[in-house]
Amino acid sequence: MTDTNFRISHLGERALLFEVPGPMVLDVQRRIWAFARELNDLKEVRETVPGVHSVLAILYDEVATERFAPRLGTLWNETEPLREPGRLIEVPVVYGGEMGEDLGWIASSRDLTVREAVEIHSAPEYTVYALGSQPGFGYLGGLDPSLATPRRTTPRLRVVAGSIIIGGAQAGVLSRTSPSGWHIIGHTELDFFDPAAAQPSLIAPGDRIRFRSVEVLS
């Protein structure tokens, strides 16, 4: 059956944005990863940038962009989800305290104890859907819906690298000190981005993450 649940938008003269609307679904994202690979093999495509349920395709020739757009839908319907398992990365976390200041509020707003909230957060195996926002930052799928929390109406101006954060239905680890509107529930000393390393980003799309609680502070 033909899948028509997608949008294609022109971004400038040489880029097309392919998007699949809807909530985060791992099988859809696996298909996005495979789709990006297929696009990279085409002579018209200079570069692809996979996102959460999206792929930005940058083409060599602006004249070909208009002709190329209909091919995206055809190729999408020929693409099967990528099944290659990513690496499993364990992230040690100190939950709560001054570097996890929103944990108590998130727990109490759901009639949970802090330790119950920590157990819920550290139970799943998360998947890195895409990298973005800042170098080495992964958008993680797999957060238990009971902990999903809308982002802050007023972002904090400085949140330190290594902060374990929740924004909407997504989890994450801040890779660089920066402003953020996500809620902070803990901290890790693991470095998610090292510009001097051969592979600067600790994680890549498709990798899996397990949060391991090493301490819970009040």
At 24, which amino acid appears? M
How far is C-alpha 114 from the chain's CA centre?
25
What pTM was estimated for this model as a whole?
0.90
pLDDT of residue 67: 82
Rg (CA), the chain: 19
Q: Which secondary structure element, helix H or strand E, spans residue 189, and what is its range? A: none
Phi, psi for residue 10 in degrees, rounded to 5: -85, 130
* Confidence tier at 63 by pLDDT (50, 70, 90): low
What's the average model confidence in pLDDT over 62-86?
Answer: 86
Residue 174 has pLDDT above 70, yes or no: yes
State the Cα–Cα distance between residues 144 and 169, nearest whole angstrom: 8
Give the tens place of pLDDT for each residue, 89-147: 999 999 999 999 999 999 999 999 999 999 999 999 999 999 999 999 999 999 999 99
What's the average model confidence in pLDDT over 58-81?
Answer: 86
Question: Which phi-psi region, left, alpha or beta, contains residue 168 (left: φ > 0; alpha: ψ -120 to 50)?
Answer: left
Nearest to 185 by CA among 94, 100, 99, 98: 100
Give the tens place of pLDDT for each residue, 1-13: 467 789 999 888 8
Residue 64 has pLDDT above 90, yes or no: no
Phi, psi for residue 159 in degrees, rounded to 5: -125, 130
Residue 169, C-beta contacts closer than 8 angstroms, at least 6 positions apart? 23, 24, 143, 145, 148
Q: What is the DSSP letter of 159?
A: E
pLDDT of residue 189: 97
What's the average model confidence in pLDDT over 154-170?
Answer: 96
pLDDT of residue 109: 95
Give the tens place of pLDDT for each residue, 191-210: 999 999 999 999 999 999 99
Residue 121, C-beta contacts closer than 8 angstroms, at least 6 positions apart? 95, 143, 144, 147, 164, 166, 171, 185, 211
Domains of the chain: 7-77 (3.30.1360.40), 88-217 (2.40.100.10)
